[in-house]
Amino acid sequence: MSDYKAEFVEFAIASNVLCFGEFKTKAGRMSPYFFNAGLFNDGDKLKRLGEFYAKAIVDSGIAFDVLFGPAYKGIPLAASIAIALAGMGRNVPYAYNRKEAKDHGEGGTVVGAALTGRVLIVDDVISAGTSVRESVGLIREAGAEPAGVVIALDRMERGTGEKSAVQEVREQYGIPVVAVVTLDNLVEYLERDEKRQQALRAVAAYREKYGV
């Protein structure tokens, strides 16, 4: 596991974004951990979050021309990642969408840079894949091509079928999906932490039951 991945897990735990206990998921499953990216909610956390995403993007080697953050959580993500990449010497444009089209001023649903060339979608997680589907539609409608998706955490668990939401996105759109960290990384981190062996056992049991 890369150093920045372990650092991201520590950062998420310290920010109370990643918690251990018993949590009910949208699918009705009782999960031993919960990831709430909405709690990256101040300037310092957002700055660091953008830097972690930027490292994962560079690490992935995905070629892209524009960042796109789907409303709403993807908006601050796209901005913070663009700032982080600029700090690393790469200045890239970013855009985001409105939930409702604007009928005055510049109009339309896309704000920021024009969607051209290869567009990299950035979001917090992929649950049902709805946000990705809408984003791909907007990108293709603009005459551009989706380059891939980058998320904070890949839970690596089955959706309604035998595949995970991430696997379904990869197959349906033929694009890479990169995560800052995956469930495998989380398990590896817990294995190293003697104080979190109970959480490790619970996560391992959950993965055995619902993992892909």
In whole angstroms, give the CA distance from residue 153 to residue 176: 14
3-state secondary structure of 123: coil
Which of 56, 60, 77, 59 has its CA nearest to residue 68?
A: 77
Q: Is residue 163 among the annotated active site residues?
A: no
| CA gap 116, 125 in Å, rounded | 24
Q: Is 100 helix (H, G, I), strand (E, B) or coil?
A: strand
3-state secondary structure of 193: coil
Catalytic site residue from 24, 102, 195, 209: 102
Asked, as a colleague might, if the bond just before 206 is cis with ω within 30 of 0, I would say no
**Exactly one of 5, 26, 45, 104 is catalytic; which is it?**
104
Q: Does 99 qualify as catalytic in the annotation?
A: no
Query: What is the spatial distance between Cα 89 and Cα 107, in angstroms, rounded to a whole number?
Result: 32
Instruction: Give the catalytic positions in this structure.
Output: 102, 104
